[in-house]
Amino acid sequence: MKRLRIAALLLALPATVAFAQAEDHAPTALSSASRMSHDRGESWTYIRPGLDLGAFRNIMIEPVVVYSGPDSQFEDIDSADRRTYARIIDEALRRELAGARPIVRRAAAGTARLRVTLIGMEKTMGGVATATRATPLGMASSVVRSVTGRGGRLTGSMLIALEMFDGGGQLQAAIVRRREPDALDIPATLGTTETARAIARDFAKALRDRFQSGRTR
């Protein structure tokens, strides 16, 4: 009961952003940083004019790496945990994208080579984040946030960069996005690792759907 009272109090507070935002520039250490244009908030995008995802016959996935640039956003998350979260993304990508195209180890003509970088991570307040969904006020707030595409309160997020090259090494697309679990995804609120798994799964499925549909936006 005490935890529920704390959760209700936290829900009544104004939302704050606990992480630094890459709003004035794309992550500087990315090779594609100068090619990307600012969309909004922490979102940056470059799409090669005329890009057709349907033209790629297979996919090569480089191992997901942890960003080491001066504008990384990991707060107090240690190096071992950063590598764990990167590995979670890597596994989700290989699992989901295998349903869209054959996965290959070497790039050739017709290969989409994907490079994913974990730029930052915000922790989930495990337990408290879950409790906020257990009150009528909390559930109502979560429904609204889910419908409007926002993550739940006190639940962590990832800042992820995706760069895509063709078989000859030419940049085809680059995006930076802050990803959060759906506000109604209760298991994702149990801890930061669970949050990372939910984000990785949703990110990988969204990318799989893009390759299957051929849409770039």
In CATH, what number is assigned to the domain containing residue 53? 3.40.50
Which structural domain, as residue segments, surrounds residue 204? 27-126+154-208
The rounded distance, in Å, linking the Cα atoms of 88 and 187 is 16
Q: Is residue 213 part of a domain?
A: no
Q: Is the pLDDT of residue 178 over 50?
A: yes
pLDDT at 182: 80
Answer yes or no: are the C-beta atoms of 150 and 183 closer than 8 Å.
yes
pLDDT at 216: 75
Closest by alpha carbon to 48, among 112, 121, 92?
112
pLDDT at 104: 98
Total of domains in the chain: 1
Pairing label, strands 37-40, 111-122: unpaired
Confidence at 183, pLDDT banded by 50, 70, 90 = low
Q: Is residue 203 part of a domain?
A: yes
pLDDT at 128: 46
pLDDT at 38: 97
Q: Is residue 40 part of a domain?
A: yes
Answer yes or no: are the C-beta atoms of 22 and 159 closer than 8 Å.
yes
Answer yes or no: are the C-beta atoms of 59 and 102 closer than 8 Å.
yes
Q: Is residue 170 part of a domain?
A: yes
| % of the chain surpassing 90 pLDDT | 66
Q: Is residue 214 part of a domain?
A: no
Q: Please name the residues in contact with 13: beta carbons below 8 A apart, sequence gap of 6 or more.
A: none
Residue 35, amino acid = R
Confidence at 9, pLDDT banded by 50, 70, 90 = very low
Closest by alpha carbon to 107, among 177, 28, 167?
167
Q: For the chain, state the CA radius of gyration.
A: 18
Q: Is residue 141 part of a domain?
A: no
